[in-house]
């Protein structure tokens, strides 16, 4: 058995162990836990089936794959609706002792702090009503404003009493009981707050450590700041550098060094501009969706990479997000648009390859991705038997575009994949997935230096989570959850290579 086959076997073993441990935990949680476990089966099962068949050299046609994926998503959504219904029944009428919020006002106003700070607390674990603010230059909320904040609550929306209202930092923590739909209650309370104290405060609806609703009110001065001209200049410099790196990557694909042979720029131009087009499509998806939610995004900060043209484009939110659904939609739109554009270029390149075999591509490029390899086998058939294959240049553009998209779908920090995980599962799971991703990249870096570069970039620039949205309680619907997990599975299919033995079984390579 080759090292790759052993790795594949270990991955399958790990998947089944995770499912087994999930079942053990789900049983202790009753019917709700078992339904959640069945949801994970509905999503993981088809992919494990397809990859398992592929490992034995059995490839499914496109129609079969689409049927399996559609059925999987349908079952997931049906189970999710049943799960939400049972959860709402169990929560009806439940009232427990309030606990401190799991998201502090400092974290809400500034995002995740880079250092591990200890929140001031009383001996019983409750947040201190009068923390030391003199050293931080924080102005506490006035008593008059505090009374106005208290007046916006009612038994029909969010039931609380004066003992559950705590001054903290420059805001207020209000503990109590949510009496209606989270989105509706948040909208009502926000409108009341705005009518009482116009354009001064923001109202956040988050969870405490017992996963119970808590309201946090903070001054608007804590809102995200719009980037200045220095950031815009830096973004422009990175954009120019990324165009250059895309051209160099295109030349590399054509087997020459553009820096040493600048006179051949015209040859690298189509591939380089194609990669730039993938990045532009990605950012257009982000910005159009952000505009729909009236969320401001910073200027894009593309990150150049000589090997594949670019590691992707970074951006930050310059306004607060209304809810977790908006975080999902904005994060998902970029890789969805950019990835589909790259996939179209790839398939178009395969279709044009028999008539325009211009680019001599080493077969290892097609073996470097399960998804790309399978698509190549479907479209190019028996022409993949040698050490090289003649294809249209669009194949190279699509392949590298998919890799760029997959790198940004990794579930870490402020990457698109990390934002998707945070929107679906919350901040605790997002933190765990970030560090797991960094560990996995560190292991892969032993064989692939690109993984090391990417891990360093994430660790230094992108490891922190997004700050909480105004309404953290309302989760994205099941359709979005299914789409998000499907995107993560596709990310694995793009980045996971074919082993030589598996490639030979499906007819790729000598």
- Are 51 and 178 contained in the same domain? no
Q: How far apart are CA 401 and CA 412, in angstroms?
A: 20
**What is the rounded CA–CA span in Å between residue 272 and residue 251?**
8
pLDDT tens across 3-21, in order?
445 555 655 666 666 667 6
How far apart are the C-alpha atoms of 392 and 349, rounded to whole Å?
5
Q: How far is CA 160 from the centre of its chain?
A: 35
Same domain, residue pair 23 and 159: no
- My answer on whether 87 and 132 are in the same domain is no
Cα 349 to Cα 323: distance, rounded to the nearest angstrom: 40
Residue 175 pLDDT? 86
Across 4-18, 91-105, 471-485, 496-510, least confident range: 91-105
| Mean pLDDT of all residues belonging to the chain | 79
Q: What percent of the chain has pLDDT over 70?
A: 77
- Is 210 domain-assigned? yes
Q: How far is CA 185 from the centre of its chain?
A: 27
User: Who wins on pLDDT, 114 or 84?
Assistant: 84
For residue 303, give both structure tokens.
Answer: 């990150």
Predicted confidence at residue 361, as pLDDT, reads: 79
Looking at the structure, do residues 170 and 269 belong to the same domain, yes or no?
no
Q: Do 288 and 370 sit in the same domain of this protein?
A: yes
Longest dimension (CA), the chain: 79
List own/partner pairs for 160-169 with CB under 8 A and 24 or more apart: 160/215, 164/98, 166/126, 166/127, 166/129, 167/129, 167/130, 167/140, 167/141, 168/104, 168/105, 168/127, 168/128, 168/129, 168/131, 169/104, 169/105, 169/106, 169/109, 169/131, 169/133, 169/136, 169/138, 169/140
pLDDT score of 113 = 43
Place of tokens 């090289």: 388
Phi first, then psi, for residue 198 (nearest 5°) are -60, 135
> Minimal CA–CA distance to 427: which of 438, 442, 414, 408?
414
Do 282 and 384 lie in one domain? The reply is yes
Write the DSSP symbol of residue 386: S
Total structural domains within the chain = 3
What pLDDT is attached to residue 43?
Answer: 65
Mean pLDDT, range 218-239, rounded to an integer: 86
pLDDT tops 80 at residue 128: no
Residues 6+ apart with CB under 8 A from 265: 247, 258
Does 296 lie in the same domain as 343?
Answer: yes
Range among 72-81, 85-94, 216-225, 377-386 with highest mean pLDDT value: 216-225
Cβ neighbours of residue 439 under 8 Å, at least 6 residues apart? none
List, as one string, the DSSP characters of 243-271: HHHHHHHHHHHTTS-TTT-GGGHHHHHHH
270 within domain boundaries: yes
Ranking 295-304, 374-383, 431-440 by mean pLDDT, the lowest is 374-383
pLDDT at 129: 42
Measured CA to CA, the distance from residue 390 to residue 294 in angstroms comes to 47
- For residues 323 and 465, state if they share a domain: yes
| DSSP conformational letter for 460 | I
Q: How confident is the model at residue 343 (pLDDT cuts 50, 70, 90)?
A: very high
> Hey, what are 408's tokens?
């940004």
Which range of residues forms the domain containing residue 22?
A: 3-91
3-state secondary structure string, 51-81? HHHHHCCCCCCHHHHHHHHHHHHHHHHHHHH
**pTM recorded for the entire structure:** 0.76
Per-residue pLDDT tens digits for 192-224: 999 988 888 889 988 877 778 888 888 988 888
| DSSP one-letter code for 214 | E
Say yes or no to pLDDT of 334 above 60.
yes
Spatial neighbors of 181 by CB under 8 A, at least 6 apart, are none
Mean pLDDT of 27-31: 69
From residue 99, alpha-carbon distances to 214, 270, 408, 427 in Å are: 9, 59, 36, 18
For residue 175, tell me if it sits in a domain: yes
Chain centroid, CA 440 distance in Å: 17
Q: What CATH number is associated with residue 183?
A: 3.30.1360
Give per-residue pLDDT as tens, 275-290: 999 999 999 999 999 9
Average pLDDT over residues 29-58: 68
* Mean pLDDT computed over 293-315: 88
Tokens of 91: 């929560």
Do the domain assignments include residue 242?
no
Q: How many Cβ atoms from other residues are within 10 Å of residue 257's Cβ?
A: 11
Lowest mean pLDDT among 208-212, 335-339, 434-438: 208-212
Kindly list the distances between the CA atom of residue 424 and the CA atoms of 73, 211, 421, 472, 492, in Å, as whole numbers in the listed order.
15, 15, 5, 11, 19
What is the rounded (10 degree) CA torsion for 95, 100, 101, 102?
Answer: -110
For 157-197, what is each residue's pLDDT tens digit? 888 877 778 887 788 888 888 888 888 888 989 999 999 88
* Distance, C-alpha 481 to centroid of its chain: 11
322 with 414, same domain: the answer is yes
Angle between helices 449-457 and 427-444 (to 10 degrees): 150
Decide if 238 is inside a domain: no
Assigned domain for 256 exists: no
Cβ within 8 Å of residue 240, ≥6 positions away: none
pLDDT at 93: 47
Return the pLDDT at 115.
36
Q: Is residue 200 part of a domain?
A: yes
Least confident of 137-151, 400-414, 446-460, 464-478: 446-460
- Plot region of 431 (φ>0 → left; ψ -120 to 50 → alpha; else → beta): alpha
Backbone angles phi, psi at 34, to 5 degrees: -65, -40
Q: Both 287 and 182 in a single domain?
A: no
Residues 369 and 472 occupy one common structural domain? yes
Q: Are residues 326 and 411 in the same domain?
A: yes
Residue 83 pLDDT > 80, yes or no? no
Beta bridge partners of 302: 313
DSSP state of 116: -
Least confident of 140-154, 161-175, 249-263, 407-421: 161-175
State yes or no: pLDDT of 98 exceeds 50: no
Please indicate, yes or no, if residue 510 is contained in any of the structural domains: no
């Amino acid at each position: 058995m080759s090292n790759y086959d052993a790795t594949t076997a270990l991955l399958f073993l790990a998947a089944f162990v995770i499912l087994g441990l999930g079942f053990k935990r789900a049983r202790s949680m009753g019917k709700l836990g078992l339904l959640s476990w069945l949801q994970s089966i509905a999503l993981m099962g088809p992919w494990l089936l397809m990859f398992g068949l592929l490992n034995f050299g059995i490839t499914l046609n496109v129609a079969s794959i689409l049927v399996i994926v559609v059925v999987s998503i349908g079952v997931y959504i049906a189970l999710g609706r049943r799960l939400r219904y049972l959860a709402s029944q169990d929560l009806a009428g439940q009232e427990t002792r309030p606990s401190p919020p799991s998201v502090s006002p400092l974290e809400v106003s500034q995002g995740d702090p880079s250092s591990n700070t200890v929140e001031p607390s009383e001996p019983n674990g409750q947040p201190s009503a009068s923390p030391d603010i003199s050293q931080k230059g924080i102005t506490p909320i006035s008593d008059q404003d505090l009374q106005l904040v208290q007046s916006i609550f009612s038994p029909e929306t969010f039931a609380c009493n004066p003992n559950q209202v705590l001054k903290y930092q420059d805001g207020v923590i209000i503990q109590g009981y949510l009496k209606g739909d989270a989105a509706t209650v948040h909208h009502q309370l926000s409108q009341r707050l705005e009518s009482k104290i116009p354009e001064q405060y923001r109202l956040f609806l988050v969870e405490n450590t017992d996963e119970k609703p808590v309201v946090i009110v903070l001054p608007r001065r804590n809102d995200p700041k719009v980037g200045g001209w220095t950031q815009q200049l830096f973004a422009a410099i990175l954009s120019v550098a990324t165009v250059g790196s895309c051209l160099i990557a295109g030349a590399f694909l054509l087997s020459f060094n553009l820096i040493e042979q600048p006179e051949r720029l015209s040859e690298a131009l189509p591939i380089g501009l194609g990669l730039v087009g993938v990045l532009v499509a990605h950012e257009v998806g982000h910005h159009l969706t952000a505009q729909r939610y009236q969320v401001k995004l910073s200027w894009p900060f593309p990150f150049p990479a000589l090997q594949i043209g670019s590691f992707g484009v970074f951006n930050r939110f310059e306004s607060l997000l209304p809810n977790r659904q908006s975080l999902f939609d904005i994060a998902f739109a970029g890789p969805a648009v950019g990835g589909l554009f790259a996939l179209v270029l790839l398939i178009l390149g395969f279709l044009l390859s028999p008539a325009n075999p211009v680019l001599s591509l080493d077969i290892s490029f097609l073996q470097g991705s399960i998804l790309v390899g399978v698509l190549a086998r479907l479209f190019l058939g028996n022409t993949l038997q040698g050490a090289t294959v003649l294809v249209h240049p669009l194949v190279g553009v699509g392949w590298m575009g998919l890799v760029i998209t997959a790198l940004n779908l990794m579930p870490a920090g402020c990457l698109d994949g990390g934002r998707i995980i945070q929107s679906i599962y919350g901040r605790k799971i997002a933190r765990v997935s970030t560090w797991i991703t960094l560990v996995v990249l560190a292991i892969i870096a032993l064989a692939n230096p690109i993984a090391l570069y990417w891990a360093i970039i994430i660790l230094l620039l992108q490891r922190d989570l997004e700050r909480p949205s105004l309404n953290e309680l309302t989760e994205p619907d099941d359709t979005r959850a299914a789409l998000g997990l499907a995107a993560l599975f596709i990310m694995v299919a793009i980045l996971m290579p074919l082993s030589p033995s598996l490639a030979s079984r499906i007819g790729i390579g000598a």
